[in-house]
Chain A
Amino acid sequence: MITRLEDKELKRQSRRELFKLLPVAALGVFAFPKLSDRLVETGVHFSDWAAGALFRSELRAQTFSNFQVVPFEKFPYNGYDVLDPEVDLENWTLTVEGDVQHPGEYKLSQIQALPKLNQNTRHICVEGWDVIGAFGGTPISNFLTLVGANTTARFLEVECADDYYESIDMASALHPQSLLCYEMYGQPLDRKHGAPLRLQMPTKLGYKQAKYLDTIRVTNVLKPGKTGYWEDQGYSWFGGL
């Protein structure tokens, strides 16, 4: 709609309206690397908070038929350091610590005695690729019941034989599809895939699926700067799907 107004008035109005837009320039702080590093970290924390609030444990990750699973040899080996930390499979035990009634060392046979779940689910990497694999193990929640864990605690921390480490929120750990996985494709987990025991949680990204498990700790506090190998370098801590 055309208005007719005096030049001076038009300039005055234009100036006014221009100044009203000035707060948008605040986004310019992102142009300063020292500030932007902190700000985008905060952005990821905010996103993690939102993702945690959004997470609904009754939702199941999609499962697939045996025909949709990629052949075993097309399921990538992925590790941050060594693919085989040479775990002594004969004498391996899982150390359980923290807010649990029965801390101590647990044998693989004790974990295998728990109800078993086989699932064909999608493994999604933070890089953008994904593969559908066949996994077998016991839901983490079964094991937490066995060790008498306080499931109202907030976190589950894990440490690995290759010095990898991770932590996950309790809600995701208790998700019925979150496994302590000791089988892939119906075979015992092979060394490069994390033998003898790894995490397998289809509601989490690949880097959360720690391999070569060594220690599990139930806790309410995470040590700052020690929340996960990749998370400490900037990846999203929640890493949920």
Chain B
Amino acid sequence: MSMSPSNENNEDENVNKNEEERPATNPATPVGEPETSEPPAKVEAEARVEAQVLKEEPEEAPELVRAAYEHPFAIRVTHWVNAISLFVMVGSGLRIFRAFPSFGPKIPQKVLLDIPKSLTIGGWLGGALQWHFTFMWFFAGSGILYIVYQLLSGHYRTVLFTPRDIPGVWPMARHYFLFGPKPPATGQYNPLQKLAYTSSVAFGALSLLTGIVLYKPTQFSWLAFLFGGFHLTRIWHFAAMCGFLAFIPGHLIMVVLHGWSNFFSMLSGWKREPEYQE
């Protein structure tokens, strides 16, 4: 019962004990129901009857729910801190991009994209930079914590996209987009989910590394060189954001389609009645 996130393995054991011992020791008082004040004799009589019933159909006795503790605390915290940071980073980033909405030369300047002010955060370039330079710490911190936790805990195995997942991507995409048959759920995440989540971590890493170059191109000139120079780095930084903007709507639509229990699991960690077995 090491699945429990809290230090209450004892309680879990109790649950198990109850499951096994209840018919013999205290059959009339299922956990969670108030004790009755009926005379002991009557209770005993009922208990015997109930014990017999339980012997015949033991699987119905304890009303146990199938559940999985899918998202450890560290994952939930970093997910939400990162989600909030990403929202701010994109909003303020678009405002910063408005100051020079081009990847070409300054003279002559061509406007590549006219981003509406209403979609941006910060009010002006200086304000947007303040938001960007504040939330970059939350974004980087949560991202790094996430990756370190995933690697150290081994939890990454549930979500990391590997070559073995490749054959499963198309059937899943066909199911979502072309109403094909639904492939059976084999784990916490299907191959398409693994691809999406792994990509979003890659976008995060790309946006962080390219952001470092744009912020301090001389201090991190080796990194600038790796990305093909200052100009290309600015394009990669923008591209990483585009990757997020492609991922997020699909992610949110899926969350809505899969309902409350699935969404709530990213808050509480626990998922009730998961689709998969074991």
Chain A residues at the B interface, C-beta cutoff of 8 Å: 1-10, 13-18, 20-21, 24, 27, 30, 39-44, 46-47, 51, 54-56, 59-62, 70, 73-76, 122, 124-131, 202-203, 230, 233-236, 240-241
Once the chains are docked, how many angstroms separate the CA of A46 from the CA of B17? 54
**Inter-chain contact A13/B4, CB cutoff 8 Å:** yes
B126 CB to closest chain A CB, in angstroms? 4
Given A21-B77, A41-B130, A46-B137; A70-B68 close (CB under 8 Å): no
A27-B84, A234-B126 as given contacts; A241 in contact with B216, CB under 8 Å: yes
State the interface size on chain B (CB cutoff 8 A). Answer: 65
| Minimum C-beta distance from A205 to chain B (A) | 10
Interface string of B70-86 (1 = CB under 8 A from A): 00010011001100100
CA A43 to CA B100, docked complex, whole Å: 23
**Distance (Å) between the CB of A179 and the closest chain B CB?**
15
**Quick check: is B106 within 8 A (CB to CB) of the other chain?**
yes
* Interface members, chain B 79-120 (any A CB < 8 Å): 80-81, 84, 88, 96-97, 99-100, 102, 105-107, 109
- Residues of B near A62 (CB, < 8 A) are 217-218, 221
Q: Which of A27, A125, A241 contacts B100 (CB 8 A)?
A: A125
Nearest-CB residue, chain A, relative to B272: A10
Complex interface: chain B residues within 8 A of A59 (CB): 218-219, 221
Contacts of B96 in A (CB 8 A): 128
Decide if A76 touches B106 in the complex (CB within 8 Å).
yes
A53 to chain B, nearest CB (A): 11
Are A235 and B264 interface neighbours, CB within 8 A? no
Partner of B270, one of A10, A46, A235: A10
Query: Which parts of B34-70 form the interface with A (CB within 8 Å)?
Result: 62-69
Tell me whether B270 and A14 are in contact (CB under 8 A).
yes
In the complex with contacts A6-B65, A13-B6, A70-B105 CB distance below 8 A? yes
Whether the Cβ atoms of A6 and B131 lie closer than 8 Å is no
**Shortest 8 CB-CB distances between A and B: which pairs?**
A43-B134, A234-B126, A14-B268, A127-B99, A40-B130, A128-B100, A129-B106, A4-B64
| A4–B270 CA distance with the chains assembled, in angstroms | 12
Given A14-B264, A24-B77, A43-B131, 8 more contacts at CB 8 Å? A2-B68, A2-B278, A5-B67, A6-B15, A8-B32, A14-B268, A70-B105, A241-B218
Most chain-A Cβ atoms within 10 A of its Cβ — which of B5, B97, B100, B218?
B218
- Sample (11) of A-B pairs whose CB atoms are under 8 Å apart: A1-B69, A2-B276, A3-B1, A7-B32, A14-B269, A24-B81, A30-B88, A40-B131, A126-B99, A129-B105, A240-B219
Q: For B277, list chain A residues within 8 Å (CB).
A: 2
Is B267 part of the binding interface, using a Cβ–Cβ cutoff of 8 Å? yes
**Given known A5-B64, A15-B268, contact A60–B218 (CB-CB < 8 A):** yes
A44 CB contact (under 8 Å) in B3, B66, B130, B267: B130
Complex: A42 Cα to B138 Cα, angstroms: 14
- The listed residue (B65, B80, B129, B137) touching A7 by CB distance below 8 A is B65
Give the contacting residue for B230; candidates A17, A21, A30, A130; CB below 8 A.
A130
